[in-house]
A = this chain, B = another copy of it.
Amino acid sequence: MPNDATQAPLSEAFLNTCGAALPADRFLTDPADCLPYGSDNSRRTMLPQAVAIPTSESEVQAIVRACADHQVPLTTRGRATNTVGGTVPVQQGLILSMERMNRLLRMAADDRYAEVEPGMLNADLQKIAGEHGFFWPPDPTSAAYCSIGGNLGCNASGPRAVKYGTCRENTLGITAVDGQGRLLKTGVYTTKGVVGYDLTRLLVGSEGTLGIITSAVLKLTPVPAAKATVRAIYDGIEPAARAIARIMAQPETPCALEFIDRNAIAAIRAGARGTQVDLPDNAGAMLMIEVDGSPHALQAAIDAVSEAASGDGLVELRQATGAEEIAALWATRKALSPALRHIASKKINEDVVVPVSRLPELISGLDELSAQHNVHIVNFGHAGNGNMHTNLLGEPEDMDRMHRCLDDVFDLVLRLDGTLSGEHGVGIEKRPFIEREIPAASLDVMYEMKRVFDPKGILNPGKMLPDRTA
């Protein structure tokens, strides 16, 4: 159910301006039509008062100007796979849904870039790029149904970031409309360019609070000719954490280095409901290590990461190079997410990051916090970046305890030189904690920057930067 409305009704003047800018089937005001646009994957909901579905830059500009003139909150939405409430219209107002701006504007394979509208799905881009022998490195779990615009807004990444980087390293330029309705063109069509300030990376990861991306020039990477997977199983979490640090300290950077802990393994076994799980009995942690590159170099890469993965506590190490074998090895890992749903009805899913050498301390610290707060914690994640999806699980009546535990988790992460979010973003969920990570002077600059792009404060209000009376 949506929360209570707090915003005054939209004015006639505003409705008329928007209605003149967009046809009726792309400017919705009936609550029944608007409701589906009010929630995202955070499972929070707020009823928007209107939904605009633009198909061009100039329509975006018209709607933004109307919102600025009438002080109407505007929340931009891709496909709402965000887990931190980033696209929930907490102050109601208008949802700008980019779903219809989903065209490929240019495929420049010879120049290794694609120019796309923000509503294109990540998977659709991968398909188009793949036909030319390329891919775009960001690959969140939701790739099949999340939009490029949302990826850029959150600087989303996924497992391949360990070798190929995040959105920031794979975006050359952006066109965006700021909170004043100005159309901003940033960046270049080339892999080098130093004329003017870097507004491109500033917009990436700004969660729709600085501008609305209307197109993006994405850097493409050639698809590697070969790929192999190594699965390493350890008798406990700390030997696995030490193995991660060893793998990242040697030159063969894997293209994925995924980790799951003992509790995750237990969840997989429970989820299997008695059927055979392809894991040794004493499995206490598992690493999935993927390497890619030239077929000639693949065995050497497998050997290098296998050697680094080997050490005290290793229970089993398996290598797979064929597509079927690889799929079989990953099947166990892929059983985790569905299995987690059955453990508890409430889940706080974090994505903290620490330098890889601090992972053993993080893991042992989380163990202590789990015991201290009596909260069930399941850890898995993109270990090569030190990015841990720490899941706090419980029932509705445990939520207070879970939140106290989370508070301590964040302190632990910051003590280890880490950051509160690697790829999910701040949204609503992490706003109360942002001041712990970002020093006051840097935060001051961010508020001032926000005022440059959005002096009326209409863009995605209630997200990212905590409220301040300024």
Residues of B within 8 Å of A193, CB to CB, are: 353, 419, 421-422
With A198-B168, A199-B446, A445-B178 already in contact, the answer to whether A161 and B425 are too (CB < 8 A) is: no
Most buried by B among A111, A197, A251: A197
In the complex, are the beta carbons of A111 and B356 less than 8 A apart? yes
Residues of B within 8 Å of A274, CB to CB, are: none
With A222-B253, A356-B111 already in contact, the answer to whether A449 and B446 are too (CB < 8 A) is: no
In the complex, are the beta carbons of A386 and B190 less than 8 A apart? yes
A167 to chain B, nearest CB (A): 9
Cross-chain contact of A249 among B109, B113, B386 (Cβ < 8 A): B109
A296-B251 Cα distance, complex, nearest whole Å: 14
A63 to chain B, nearest CB (A): 17
A208 to chain B, nearest CB (A): 12
In the complex, are the beta carbons of B154 and A194 less than 8 A apart? yes
In the complex, are the beta carbons of A419 and B190 less than 8 A apart? yes
Q: Please provide the chain A residues from 411 to 468 with a CB less than 8 Å away from any CB of chain B in the complex.
A: 417-426, 430, 434, 437-439, 441-446, 448-449, 452-453, 464-465
Place the interface of chain A in its size category: 35 or more
Residues of B within 8 Å of A157, CB to CB, are: 192
A195-B413 Cα distance, complex, nearest whole Å: 13
The answer to whether the Cβ of A393 comes within 8 Å of any Cβ in the partner chain is no
Residues of B within 8 Å of A252, CB to CB, are: 294
The answer to whether the Cβ of A245 comes within 8 Å of any Cβ in the partner chain is yes
Binds B, one of A25-33, A180-188, A278-286: A180-188
Binds B, one of A44-52, A91-99, A297-305, A318-326: A297-305
The answer to whether the Cβ of A223 comes within 8 Å of any Cβ in the partner chain is yes
Most buried by B among A354, A382, A422: A422
The answer to whether the Cβ of A224 comes within 8 Å of any Cβ in the partner chain is yes
The answer to whether the Cβ of A141 comes within 8 Å of any Cβ in the partner chain is no
The answer to whether the Cβ of A166 comes within 8 Å of any Cβ in the partner chain is yes
Residues of B within 8 Å of A87, CB to CB, are: none
Cross-chain contact of A188 among B183, B184, B353 (Cβ < 8 A): B353
Contact with B along A80-106 (1 / 0, CB 8 A): 000000000000000000000000000
In the complex, are the beta carbons of A202 and B205 less than 8 A apart? no
The answer to whether the Cβ of A19 comes within 8 Å of any Cβ in the partner chain is no
The answer to whether the Cβ of A77 comes within 8 Å of any Cβ in the partner chain is no
A27 to chain B, nearest CB (A): 25
The answer to whether the Cβ of A357 comes within 8 Å of any Cβ in the partner chain is yes
Contact with B along A160-173 (1 / 0, CB 8 A): 01100110110000
A199-B245 Cα distance, complex, nearest whole Å: 28
Residues of B within 8 Å of A424, CB to CB, are: 194
In the complex, are the beta carbons of A422 and B192 less than 8 A apart? yes
Nearest B-chain residue to A434, judged by Cβ: B195
Most buried by B among A166, A210, A293, A357: A293
Chain A residues at the B interface, C-beta cutoff of 8 Å: 108-113, 133, 154-155, 157, 161-162, 165-166, 168-169, 178, 182-186, 188-202, 204-206, 210, 222-225, 245, 248-253, 293-297, 299-301, 353-358, 382, 385-387, 417-426, 430, 434, 437-439, 441-446, 448-449, 452-453, 464-465
Given contacts A190-B385, A198-B201, 4 further A-B contacts (CB under 8 A): A110-B248, A110-B356, A194-B422, A197-B205
The contact sample of 11 A-B pairs, CB cut-off 8 A, is A111-B356, A112-B248, A112-B249, A133-B251, A168-B198, A185-B439, A185-B442, A190-B354, A190-B419, A195-B430, A197-B449
